[in-house]
Amino acid sequence: MAGKVALLLWGAQTTQLLVEPPWTPPVLWDRVTLTCQGSGTAGAITWYKDGQRWWEEGPDQFRVTESGTYQCDRPGTGRSPPVNVSNDRLVLQVPARALLEGDTVTLRCRGWQDKPVTWVSFYREEKQLQRFRDGTELSLSPLRLHHSGRYRCRGGVHSEVSGRWKESESAPVSVTVRGVPLSGVSVSVQPPGAQVALGDRLVLSCAVATGTGPLSFSWHRGDSWALLGTGPHLELRHVGDNDSGHYQCRASNGDSVAESVPLNVTVLVPVANATISPGALAQPVRAGDPVTLRCSVQVGSAPVTFTWLRNGSEVARGPLLELGDVHVGHSGTYQCMATNQLGQDGHRMFRALSPELALMVTLRAHWDTAVAVNIGRSLLFLVLLLGVIGGCHWWQRLVARKPQDRSPQPLSLSAPPRVSPSPAPPRHPQVTNAQLPGPYEGQQDPGATYESVM
């Protein structure tokens, strides 16, 4: 139903009365229509008039023909607030809608059946606000919360009975100004970026884009709605490891509640427990072998910078130290230093040093000489062993020969063997042929005998 406005339609959803035309109080001569609105069962509406049951199982709406106070009841949502349909001589009317701060509202003072009204005065809480000689309306613009209160009007109304102007006063009407519903609740953080170092100060602020009225705030973290604080600001003077999470602000003006989008806060942790892998190297490392070292940290928020030190002096940066084919000049004591800058604007630096790693590089020539000597010795031993085995084998073959193989070969008849002449023994006067030793026994040598005889 276009144009119909719910009276007192604010807060919890209950049974409400819509009035047309949308003024409160409505007046009988405006041909008022009331509509019962709610989530209860249709067709089971009970109407009340002046506090008494008046119409059971009545329709959703009807046109009022008698002045009085009306209510309706729907099963499930209960009884509606009362609506008074007036038929008084002088009536002060206010728009039948929610009056929000910042709006413009007009109060009008009307005579019975729109009879002329002269010199109208408006009052709020018994205090005169304004007096008009010709006008009958009071404009409040823009509305503020202090405009809430009880209003009435007083004016001269023409009497048809006496033909004179008679002063009349309206019944008081309550005006309630509510704050604009809240929206656009947001959270800002200091330091910017919602990243803070362990032990630093963190400040969260809650702001409302639209909405009026006295505001209240509450702070929560994560899925838990445990209260962390109240007020537009939340300060954590020394953040800890467990302060990371999603922070949310809830704002309320008494009539509406709005929540911010969760803001993720990260607590940055200093680096610690730096290590080098591999933790041990073969001792010594041969010249020409490739060596690569890696540095890592067990804890520490990025970005982390790695610096390599050899004998206390910087030689490289980065998590990897690739020495390539090492030489003697690479020998020394290596150490990795990990650092990260945290805090507001990165003004705090943290450092972690790894255990020292000793690297000793040996020249490959020395190693090759030692290897060659060892190989030569091994080969010499192998040759000697083979010689001994061959000699044993030859001796066994020699011993195993048959006797005929060892006897002298027979002489040839055609060619007697040629015997080399033996040197003659020295002459001695007393030596005879019989005394000659060896091969000369039993041999006839005429020449020799001859010499002995002579």
With respect to residue 251, please indicate whether it lies within any of the assigned structural domains: yes
Claim to verify: residue 297 and residue 237 sit in the same structural domain: no
pLDDT digits (tens, 9 = 90+) for 397-445: 777 765 544 444 443 434 444 444 444 444 444 433 333 344 333 433 4
Claim to verify: residue 75 and residue 139 sit in the same structural domain: no
In the predicted structure, residue 286 carries a pLDDT above the cut 80: yes
| 341 membership: H or E segment, kind and range | strand 332-342
Claim to verify: residue 256 and residue 309 sit in the same structural domain: no
Question: What CATH number did the domain enclosing 252 receive?
Answer: 2.60.40.10
In the predicted structure, residue 200 carries a pLDDT above the cut 80: yes
> Residue for token digits 């001792």?
283
How many domains is the chain partitioned into structurally? 4
With respect to residue 332, please indicate whether it lies within any of the assigned structural domains: yes
- Residue 196 confidence (pLDDT): 84
With respect to residue 110, please indicate whether it lies within any of the assigned structural domains: yes
In the predicted structure, residue 188 carries a pLDDT above the cut 70: yes
Domain coverage including residue 33: 1-87
With respect to residue 382, please indicate whether it lies within any of the assigned structural domains: no
- Residue 437 confidence (pLDDT): 41
Q: What are phi and psi of 273, to 5 degrees?
A: 60, 60
Per DSSP bridges, beta strands 216-221 and 177-178 are unpaired
DSSP assignments along 79-109, one per residue: EPPPEEEB--SEEEEEESS-EETT--EEEEE
Q: What angle do CA 26, 150, 126 make, to 5 degrees?
A: 125
pTM for this one?
Answer: 0.53
Claim to verify: residue 23 and residue 51 sit in the same structural domain: yes
Write down which residue in 149, 178, 207 finishes a domain.
178
pLDDT greater at residue 347 or residue 200:
200
Contact 330, 307 (CB under 8 A): no
- Residue 233 confidence (pLDDT): 95
CA separation for the pair 255, 239 (Å, rounded): 35
With respect to residue 121, please indicate whether it lies within any of the assigned structural domains: yes
> Residue for token digits 């690297």?
359
pLDDT greater at residue 194 or residue 173:
173
37-41, 205-209, 218-222, 252-256: least confident range: 37-41
Claim to verify: residue 228 and residue 247 sit in the same structural domain: yes
pLDDT digits (tens, 9 = 90+) for 313-345: 999 999 999 988 888 889 999 999 999 887 666
Closest Cα to residue 179, out of 150, 216, 152?
A: 216
CA separation for the pair 231, 210 (Å, rounded): 18
Contact 74, 40 (CB under 8 A): yes
What's the whole-number mean pLDDT along residues 22-29?
Answer: 95
Write down which residue in 208, 242, 268 finishes a domain.
268
